[in-house]
Structure 1
Amino acid sequence: MPTGVHIRDVREQLFGAAERVLLRDGPNALTSRAVTTEAGCAKGVLHRHFADFDAFLAELVLDRISRIDTQAADLRDSVGAGTVAETLTRALLDVFGPLAVAVVGLVTFRDELRARLRQARSAGGVPILSEATAMIASYLSAERDLGRVAADADVDTLAATLIGAAHLLFADQDDAPGNEAVHRVVNTVLAGALAQ
C-alpha cells in the first residue's frame, strides 16, 4: 500500500491478515512480513501500531479470547433449555473453530508470546483453553443449580475434561470432527453427572 494512504481500522485489518496466514500456512509462516503482505500494507504499519511482532501476536490472541465472553453469555442464556449434552456439544463446536485451534498451536509454538500472555491475563493455563474451561464450568454450575446436573458433580473437573477431550478431537485433524463425535465425547464425560 502506498505511503500516505489511510488504512481504516488497521488493527482489525492486520489481525484478519494474521488469521488468514495462520489458518492457511500455520504458525511457522506467521511473520510480520507475511502479515503485512497479506494485509496489503507496508511492514512499517505493523510496527507503528505495535511495539514488536510478539506484542502484535499477544494483542491478537487477547482479542480472540475476548470473543469467548460473547460465547459465554450465549451459553449462560441457554441454561435450562434443550438438553445439557446438546448445549455443550454446540458450545464445544463453537469454541473449537479452526481459528481457535490454530491460535492454541501458535501460543504453544512461541515462547515469547506465552510469556507476554502470562503477564497480560489473570487466568492461568493455555489461553483460549483456560477461558473455555471457565465458560463450561460456569454453565455446568448453573445447570447444577437448576437440578439438571447432579448436586455432587465436580463441574470444574468435568469442564476441564470436556475441553481437553474436545481439544484432542479437533487439534490433530485436517477436518473438524462432526457433531456426532463431539456429542459422543460429551455424553461419555457427563455419564453419571447428570441428574436422574
Structure 2
Amino acid sequence: MNDIARKPIPPGIRWVGGITAVILVAQVGFNQPLQTSAAPQGMLSFQLATTGEGAAAIVASWGESVWAQASLWSGFLFAALYTILLILLTNHLLVDRPGVRERKTGRWVRGLFVVAGLSHVVEYAVLLANLDAPSDRLSLSATLLALANYTALLVGLAGLVVIRAARRHPLSPSGA
C-alpha cells in the first residue's frame, strides 16, 4: 500500500473539492445550450475565438441566451475554488516531503496554480466585455489568457506528480 493511500485526505480538502465539483457540473450544464454550429465546443470555442469576427459569430449564434452570462459569472467562483483546492492539495502532498527540492518545487507549483486562477479570472472579465462588443483585441487577449491558464494548470499538475515521485516512500512510515 502506498503512502497516499495511508494518508487520509483532510476534511477541508474534501469540502472544497466537493463544492468545486458541483460548480464544475453546473458549468458543464451551462455550456450545453452554448454548443452551436458557430461554437461546437460552447464556451471553449468563444475562449479560443482569437478574432472579433469569430467571437461575433459565436455571440450571434447564442442570441439573447443567459447561459453565456451564467457560465462566465460562475467561472469566477470556479477559478477561486479550484485555485484554493489545488493549493490545499499541494500542501497536503508536501506534508511528508521535507526536502529542499520538494519544497522549492512545491512553491513553483503553488505559484503556477495562482497564475492559472488569476489568468482565468482576467480571461473571464475579458470574455464578459467581449460578449457586449466583440473585438480582435479582446478575443486575442482572451485566447492568450486561456492558453496561459491551461498551461499553468498542466505544468502545475505535472509538478504535483514530480513532488510525489521524488521519493517513493515517506521519510517516516505512518503509524510507526
Greater RCO structure (CA 8 Å; 6+ sep) = 2
TM-score of the superposed pair, with normalisation by structure 1: 0.34
TM-score of the superposed pair, with normalisation by structure 2: 0.37
